[in-house]
Amino acid sequence: MDTTLEDPLVGRVLDGRYRVDSRIAAGGMATVYRAVDTRLDRILALKVMHPALASDAAFVDRFIREAKSVARLAHPNVVAVFDQGTDGPYVYLAMEYVSGCTLRDVLRERGALQPRASLDILEPVLAALGAAHRAGFVHRDMKPENVLIGDDGRVKVADFGLVRSVDSVTNTTGSVLGTVSYLAPEQIANGVTDTRVDVYACGVVLYEMLTGAKPHLGGTAAQVLYQHLHEDVPPPSASVPGLPVGLDELVAHATARNPELRPYDAAALLGLAREARAVLSDAELDAVPPQAHAEERSSAEDRTGVIPRPVAAQQPVQRTSRLETPPPPPPAPPAPPAHRTAPARRPRRSTLLVIVGVLLSLGLGTGVWYINSGQFTKVPNLLGKSEAQARSQLSAAGLGVKGVERKFSESFDRGTVMDSDPPGGRRIRGNGAVTIVISRGPEVVAVPIVKGRPLEEAQAELTKAGLAPGIVTQAFSQEVAQGSVISTNPAGGEKRAPDTAVSLVVSKGRPVPVPSVTGFPADQAKATLEGLGFKVLTAPEQVNAPSAAGTVANQSIGAGTQAAAGDTITLTVSKGPRQLPVPNVTGQDVDTARKTLEAAGFKVKVDRPLISFSNTVDSQSVLAGLNAPEGSTITIRTKGL
């Protein structure tokens, strides 16, 4: 049964940005979803705290601390955190989405791994934790569920949800936060967490990779806690005979019950791991372990949670080495620890597992490729499909598009799929992605002849040929109809590379001289211009002008200009001239009076008697102080005999 159908968050958009597509995993404190950042159009993982815990300020604070802490760790083996926020009862982290599987998935499918594969996974994990330790943080919940193995073989550490500053290490009472199977003795005894608790957990994970089983098994969490406190992690070779002693020693160093005997941090353990690898032969590194019984269940011991510490366990851990006699056990726990036996062998599995074993034996450098049976999808045949059709088919098959490449092709039409990686028919992981290759058409194309074609048709023809319609300019033409193409650059018939821009010159039609309609009544001016094929608009506001009210004061295209039929000419209508006060110029000489009146906005006429020897203004046609139309003529007269 697909439980994601019942999940209320699937299909919802959180915080107006993150669309939840499907549920990936559920833990004791949070659920992880595959989502899409609708703002940046990218796939990511959304970790949402269980609503029941969102009301607990301590848990919310821990969630926010994870976002801030991991954001400071720019490391290729750490799952990046992009954003943190809340939406109603939901507190979330937006994180890098790693397409692949977890180390837990691999162990359940394969059981024990080869030494080379185990070290290939351990080393990038230690590199990531080493960066965190040197930055001042402790993970506190290292386990196979938090080791992600991408489809490309990259190994990343996830879920820094219990991260704590090294400088804030404290002793707690009553409970411990973590996963039972990977807790260090000092975490159980007194709640102490420093870099060495991550070292201990990595030692347990290494043991599990080498043997296919956890070192401490029990029917209850109390039994497992008791064994962490009072029993050493056994050498892996006790369960898988033939494992090199160097790997036994590496596990022993990492899982020493006395934290003082462990490497101080993950970087130090990484150095020991590389030293151990260096002395192993290829035969020892590639030795195929017997098919141990892979884990088939997910127990409460694999989940992160708040675990009550037994009262008897809340005491300092005795600092003893593996060679010393362990202290006497405390009072019996609620149930005796279960007897641990070597994992039972099981019959060989299908040919698929043989193939997986061969892939694991190859190692592929520092990244290991793992394939989970039952999670494969056949890539559909996309050849000849449009890009939209290809994307639709891949989505229907549960696959994504990793990228789109474009290449020349003589065989496939432009815009259709000419290849894909992986190719059609190849089986890949069910949540994988495919790169599609789109044809750009032939490497050289001829510019189509589009003279006389309407602009939109010409542009479509250029696009179909694999060229890019370029800049459009206009010119008058006596031959080509208005709106159709006069010429192109490059010219029709010339050959160019695909996507070359082709500019077009479009006809404005035959040129039409624009007449002057200034001073005409507005209706008469409009009729005259429309008769010549122009469109006429009237400006919404009238202006003062020397011409009479209701006549044209101005036209947007001047008289004598060449324009095209269909061009728009805007007319501005006069509301008559302004009325201006007339200054008093009587008694002034003629020249001074003329300048005064012209400066006031009037024209001037001088009236001299036939016989006059005076140059002084004796009178003016409009009395001083009265208003006269701007631009009207004022007559001034001199005195005669």
Asked if residue 450 has pLDDT above 90, the reply is yes
Q: What is the pLDDT, as a whole number, of residue 215?
A: 93
pLDDT of residue 291: 61
User: What pLDDT is attached to residue 309?
Assistant: 52
Q: Are 215 and 204 in contact (CB under 8 A)?
A: yes
Structural class in CATH, domain 579-638: alpha beta
Contact 159, 95 (CB under 8 A): no
CA dist., res. 227 & res. 207, Å (int): 15
Give the torsion through C-alpha atoms of 161, 167, 168, 169, to 10 deg.
Answer: 90
User: What pLDDT, in 10s, does the model give residues 497-522?
Assistant: 888 899 999 999 989 999 999 999 99
Could you tell me the residue ranges of all domains in the chain? 1-97, 102-321+347-374, 376-439, 454-507, 511-573, 579-638
141 is catalytic: yes
Sequential DSSP letters for 296-332 = ----GGGS-EEEEPPGGG-SPPP---TTSPPPPP-S-
How many other C-beta atoms are found inside a 10 Å radius of the C-beta of residue 319?
A: 12
pLDDT band at 21 (very low <50, low <70, confident <90, very high): very high
Q: State the CATH class of domain 454-507.
A: alpha beta
- Give dist(CA 30, CA 15) in Å, integer: 17
Is pLDDT larger for residue 310 or for residue 320?
310
- Round to whole Å and give the CA distance between 553 and 574: 5
What's the pLDDT tens digit per position in 261-288? 999 999 999 999 999 999 999 999 999 8
Q: Where are the beta strands (DSSP E) in 285-413?
A: 305-308, 376-378, 400-407
Q: Is there a contact between 440 and 467 (Cβ–Cβ < 8 Å)?
A: no
> pLDDT tens digit string along 102-136?
999 999 988 999 999 999 999 999 999 999 898 88
Q: Which of 201, 207, 199 is nearest to 248 (CA)?
A: 207
Q: What pLDDT shows up at residue 490?
A: 93
Residue 385 reports pLDDT greater than 70: yes
Left (φ > 0), alpha (ψ -120 to 50) or beta: where does 167 sit?
alpha
The CA distance from 173 to 191, in Å, is 7
pTM as predicted:
0.48
CATH architecture designation of domain 511-573:
2-Layer Sandwich (3.30)
pLDDT at 326 over 60: no
- Residue 316, pLDDT score: 37
Q: What pLDDT is attached to residue 586?
A: 94
Marked catalytic residue, from 15, 120, 141, 589: 141
List C-alpha distances in Å: 386 to 368, 416, 419: 35, 5, 12
pLDDT computed for residue 487 by the predictor = 95
Asked if pLDDT for residue 240 goes beyond 50, the answer is yes
Choice among 111-120, 244-253, 383-392 with the minimum mean pLDDT: 383-392
Examine the pLDDT at 374 and tell me if it is beyond 50.
no
Range name among 353-367, 547-561, 578-592 with the lowest pLDDT average: 353-367
Q: Which residue has the higher pLDDT, 331 or 395?
A: 395
Q: Residue 61: its pLDDT value, please? A: 76
Closest by Cα among 247, 4, 252, 240 to 118: 247
> Under CATH, which architecture does the 102-321+347-374 domain have?
Orthogonal Bundle (1.10)
Q: How confident is the model at residue 386 (pLDDT cuts 50, 70, 90)?
A: very high
Same fold, 102-321+347-374 and 579-638: no
Q: How far apart are CA 571 and CA 573, in angstroms?
A: 6
The proportion of the chain whose per-residue pLDDT surpasses 90, expressed as a percent, equals 48
Q: How far apart are CA 169 and CA 194, in angstroms?
A: 6
**In CATH, which of 3.40.47.10, 3.40.190.10, 3.90.1510.10, 3.30.10.20 is domain 376-439?**
3.30.10.20
Q: Which two tokens stand for residue 291?
A: 């098919």
Residue 152: both structure tokens together: 């490309």
Task: Please tell me the predicted confidence (pLDDT) of residue 358.
Answer: 33
Name 44's Cβ contacts closer than 8 Å, sequence gap at least 6: 18, 35, 36, 37, 82, 94, 95, 96, 97
Q: How confident is the model at residue 593 (pLDDT cuts 50, 70, 90)?
A: very high
Topology adopted by domain 1-97: Phosphorylase Kinase; domain 1 (3.30.200)
In 10 A of CB 587, how many CB atoms? Answer: 10
